[in-house]
Amino acid sequence: MIREFLKDNMQVRIYSTREGMGNSAAALAAQCLRELLQRKDEVNLIFAAAASQVEFLDAIALEKNIPWERVNAFHMDEYIGLPVTHPQRFGNFLDKRIFSKLPLKKVYYLNETGDDTEAESARYAALLQKMPPDVTFMGIGENTHLAFNDPHVADFNDAALVRIIDLDEPCKQQQVHDGCFPSVADVPSWAYTLTIPALLRSTYIFCMVPGKNKAQAIKHTLTEAVTAKYPSTALRNHRNAVLFLDKDSAALIL
């Protein structure tokens, strides 16, 4: 690890490589899960689907001595308008990367049927109310979004847990940068997202943000005032949030 410090309430840990970042985040997350499962019958997790999460997801899938059969999994956002079998749907990404590798008690998919209705927001919100999240595994977008809470829709006091929102252009461009779509025109314009209050309800947050394309977003996250103009700054108010960076994403703050 290169450096470790606090920014407001959030712990920041910087590593020399993406792999080191992912492995360390997975080890600490696994320790957290084991401790939670010692005092709770079940644990509820929220996962992010993004290229930034690959090293972490690969590493945590290999962690031993976690009773995954007592763990429920959710994910934090999903496109609207893609066929249910489309490889870029976030549920399919997570199923391939993590869900299919673990004997989870239950996976709750967002917009699993592809109905694309407002009723789906209410259904998923009801599940999150019934099973409050213990841990959120997430990233930060190039425009500082959390899930699909882009700056133009982010609301730190949103009363809803799940919303349908429109993606801004920087968010669409990130999907191209990540290799998810060949062009901005191919990126869906609408998606479901857990709101910022829904994400921050978790007792613990592990936020993994590697890569040079995230350097400016990390600078904003750590140096700007806490405001919805930069949604990721909300993490600084959470008392159990850890931000994991590599030297590329941390380049503008080192």
- pTM value is 0.96
Q: What is the pLDDT along the chain (254 residues), one digit of tens a residue?
A: 899 999 999 999 999 999 999 999 999 999 999 999 999 999 999 999 999 999 999 999 999 999 999 999 999 999 999 999 999 999 999 999 999 999 999 999 999 888 878 899 999 999 999 999 999 999 999 999 999 999 999 999 999 999 999 998 988 988 888 888 888 888 889 999 999 999 999 999 999 999 999 999 999 999 999 999 999 999 999 999 999 999 999 999 98
Considering the domain boundaries, does residue 6 fall inside one?
no
The vertex-251 CA angle with 247 and 254, nearest 5°, equals 90
| Domain boundaries, position 58 | 12-211+225-249
Is residue 5 situated within a structural domain?
no
Whether residue 1 is contained in a domain is answered as: no
Does residue 40 fall inside a structural domain? yes
Q: Which residue has the tokens 């947050």?
A: 205
Q: Domain of 107: which CATH number?
A: 3.40.50.1360
Residue 101 covered by a domain: yes
Q: How far apart are CA 229 and CA 220, in angstroms?
A: 10
- What CA–CA distance (Å, rounded) separates 187 from 167? 9
Neighbour-count burial of 194, counting CB atoms closer than 10 A to its CB (0-12 exposed, 13-18 middle, 19+ buried): buried
Closest CA to 136 of 224, 52, 74: 74
Q: What is the 3-state secondary structure (H, E, C) of 226-250?
A: CCCCCHHHHHHHCCCEEEEEECCCC
* Count of domains observed in the chain: 1
